[in-house]
Amino acid sequence: METYDALLASIAPASGETRTILDPATGQAVGDAPIHGVEDLDRAVAAAQAAQPAWAALGHDARSAALLKAADAVDRAAEELARLLSREQGKPLNGPNARFEVGACSAWLRATASIPMEPETVVDDGETHAEMHYRPIGVVGAIGPWNWPMMIAVWQLAPALRMGNAVVVKPSEYTPLSVLALVSILNQELPDGILSVVSGGREVGARLAEHPAIGKIMFTGSTATGKAIIRSSAGTVKRLTLELGGNDAGIVLPDADPKTIAEGLFWGAFINTGQTCAALKRLYVHDDIYDDVCEALTTVAAAMPMGVGLDEANVLGPLQNRQQFDIVARLVEAAKDSGARVLLGGNPDPDQPGFFYPTTLVADIDNGNPLVAEEQFGPALPIIRYRTVDEAVAMANALDVGLGASVWSADPAEARKVAARIEAGTVWINSHGGVHPMIPFGGVKQSGYGVEFGVDGLKSLGVPQVING
């Protein structure tokens, strides 16, 4: 086990231009990140090209064994990684936050290593025998976000490596240290060159998307950036998996028990202080139980402590950056100006250090209000009243995104009927946002395309080849 200081030292730049990363909860310096440029990216891609054939030649069993060893390395450094993540991203150590995220990294590595991947016989009729195989793509570019920087990096790199590719990771400029540290730990158990990280700005991301030696881009982030990647990648006809913006709806049916579902609703909306693509961001509640759901949810939300992440008591943290704080503040002010009823929060303390926005619940709000129609990506949840299920489904489907959604009911069969009418890549019943390494995950409409996780996720990191004969 290495110390926190040793972990930081292992990723400290030896030379070149650097940028100091600040803790969003306190404003204190966390560490210095290198500022890599296009030349650094080109060198990393060249090294990946050179290392990839030998890695591919090892086969699935040997690559899976290496991923298992990498998972063990993450576990050995888990507490140090969690402390760095908490300081850089802002999320608390406890709750479904920093320690949870680091644990998910090792769990996903192990799950990805364990998925069987055999050739598929597609026709065998006595005259024709055809098998589907999946060959490595070559070099994969992974571009990650700042909200779950370590976990989403593993979601991208683990299946890419398992399928025999080399990977070049480009982390968010807001959270480079977490990803640099994670890759440093993983590389204790991986061959040289097959996994690298380039910590740069938009020009590095743009070069990655257009680089002729990159065969696929994995991207999680905003729809606007996803569209830019599509344009940049078109010249080389890259494969893409895009997990883009969402504005997930939840529908509470009239038979639901408000007190029973309140905690699930809270964590569906406020996990990672609302900074999650597949978080519950619009809650539609039937008129019969509307006031009771508002009351039960307010009671749960008011009891959840928010503060500096290294304080073991906290389960909610700050927004990660000023830009996101300003977006949330603008949207909540728009709701207040419209006459919506603030049940909790909505009043950030201007004298408090850090980007803390209080847990906010807003009731009696119109479905067209900006707080509902735009993705707030923070700790503010609008609660919209409806009178018929048809009305709720129409409102849920009205936007041009469709990552996730949920239906809440005492009758799971009825909930599944409603779920089938919702335009979203995943619809949860009586929960929201949970993912599983064996269950495919991806969006519809402008929430992106392609799926991650499970066998389908592995296939998306390979090139299909039919052997016929």
Q: Is the domain of 294 the same as that of 214? A: no
Q: Determine, yes or no, domain membership for 10.
A: yes
- Write out the two tokens for 426: 């995943």
Residue 148 sits in the same domain as residue 93: yes
**Do 11 and 82 have their domain in common?**
yes
Burial 394-419 (b: 16+ CB within 10 A, else e): ebbeebebbbbbbbbbeeeeebeebb
**pLDDT for 103-143, tens place per residue?**
999 999 999 999 999 999 999 999 999 999 999 999 999 99
68 within some domain: yes
| CB 450 within 8 Å of CB 241 | yes
Q: Which amino acid is residue 308, in one-letter code?
A: V
Sign for the pseudo-dihedral over CA of 63, 67, 70, 76:
negative
- 439 falls within a domain: no
Contact 405, 427 (CB under 8 A): yes
pLDDT of 84 reads 98
Task: Judge if 139 and 252 occupy the same domain.
Answer: no
Are 205 and 277 in a shared domain? no
How confident is the model at residue 410, as a pLDDT? 98
User: What is the count of structural domains for the chain?
Assistant: 2
Residue 410 belongs to a domain: yes
Q: Which two tokens stand for residue 92?
A: 């608390």
pLDDT tens for 229-280 read 999 999 999 999 999 999 999 999 999 999 999 999 999 999 999 999 999 9
Residue 434 lies in a domain: no
218, 449 contact by CB (below 8 A) = no
Say if residue 149's pLDDT is above 80: yes
Q: What is the CATH number of the domain that holds 176?
A: 3.40.605.10
Query: H or E stretch including 374?
Result: none
Asked if residue 252 and residue 106 are part of one domain, the reply reads no
Is 438 part of any domain? no
Q: Are residues 236 and 325 in the same domain?
A: no
**CB contact burial 377-392 (16+ within 10 A = b; e otherwise):** bbbbbbbbbbeebeeb
Active site residues: 243, 277
Q: Is residue 34 part of a domain?
A: yes
CATH number of 361's domain: 3.40.309.10
pLDDT tens track for 426-467: 999 999 999 999 999 999 999 999 999 999 999 999 999 999
Q: What is the mean pLDDT of the chain?
A: 97
pLDDT of residue 15: 86
How many angstroms separate the CA atoms of 419 and 137, rounded? 36
107, 210: one domain? yes
Q: Quick one: 285 and 372 in the same domain?
A: yes
**CA angle (375 as vertex; 269, 145 as ends), nearest 5:** 85
Residue-level pLDDT at 291: 98
- pLDDT tens per residue, range 320-374: 999 999 999 999 999 999 999 999 999 999 989 999 999 999 999 999 999 999 9
Band the pLDDT of 14: cuts 50, 70, 90: confident
The SS3 of residue 20 is strand
pLDDT at 1: 58
Regarding whether 258 and 240 lie in a shared domain, the answer is no
Pair (176, 315) in one structural domain: no
Q: Are residues 160 and 291 in the same domain?
A: no
Residue 56 located in a structural domain: yes
Distance CA 96, CA 272 (A): 7
Q: What is the CA radius of gyration of the chain?
A: 23
Domain that holds residue 112: 4-244+447-468
- The string of DSSP codes covering 161-180 is HHTT-EEEEE--TTSHHHHH
